[in-house]
Structure 1
Amino acid sequence: MKSLSVLELSKLYNINRQTIYNHINKGILSKNPDNKIDFAEAIRVFGEPNKKQDVKDPVKIDSPNSAEILLLRQQIDMLKNQVSDAKEREAFYQEQIEVMQRLLKAPEPHMTTFTDQEPVQPSMAKTDPEPEMAEAKYDGLTTPENKRIPVPEHIEPEPPKRGFLSRFFLPNG
């Protein structure tokens, strides 16, 4: 039977030489002692060749540069996809921020905030001339700003706490 080299086999079946070497390393394809592959073995693994041609034609070997260029183009495409995904995410998050800002009302410009207030200097602070009057005004129901704290009308007193055994031996009460 006819024996073919790896280069001739790759040309005949129009497959990469590395694929053939991978099949040999995995044990799918076997070599003869003269490092050639039997044609019957190639038909068993790869099937009938697509086109009949002379296997002695020169084979164009891929240059390493073309493989690198192909790899770089794939990486460029992958990076372009990642950038477009990132832009879509950014637009989505920007839209979410705008929605949240519309939901949260910003402070009015005429309102004073804590940072807008002027600090009080200790020398300029007002002193209360009658501290006894200030204590008399504060009865526990008002805050220092003289705002009334609402007190509930009726509060039921809590029942006295009972011990563990009294829950079983004393009547409910």
Structure 2
Amino acid sequence: MKKLSVSELAKLYGYSRQAIYAHINKGNLSKGSDGLIDFVEALRVFGEPQKKETTVNQSQSINSQNLTEVDLLKRQVDILEKQLNQALLRENQSLERESFYQEQIEAMQRLLEAPKPQITQSGDHGSVQPEPATEAKEEVIAMPPKEPEVIENKRIPVPEHVEPEPEKRGFWSRFFRPYD
């Protein structure tokens, strides 16, 4: 006699494994000591297996699996489109920010390159007087303004702030403050 496992029996009759186990728990169907079910026992409970229904059930399950896969893939495409749109938005924002900062840098460089009047101190007053203008300076001022040069990737050095080294103290001065 042929013996079948629960999953084989479920496939043969088109039932779920839980339905087979429900019949076993009710006592309608019995398993052998090896955990397998006799085909004769299955015939008694379920009757003859019908091949046509199993193919219809299989095709329906295949169609439903394909539909769920298609739905899943459509959702993934939608998610990826949203992520792409967000990435493009972030890229545009970063390009705008970059152009804004580049304009700021160019403006700062023009300010740094502007001619500065020389300042001299006279005597003890501490008063500041600009140096008298010479003819050469007047000529430079009279010239039309230059077009700003485009400088790419020019770095302006930033002076580092150096902390002064603290005063060295002895061992006991850590616990007792000296009189000042």
TM normalised by structure 2 equals: 0.29
- Identify, as 1 or 2, the structure richer in strand: 2
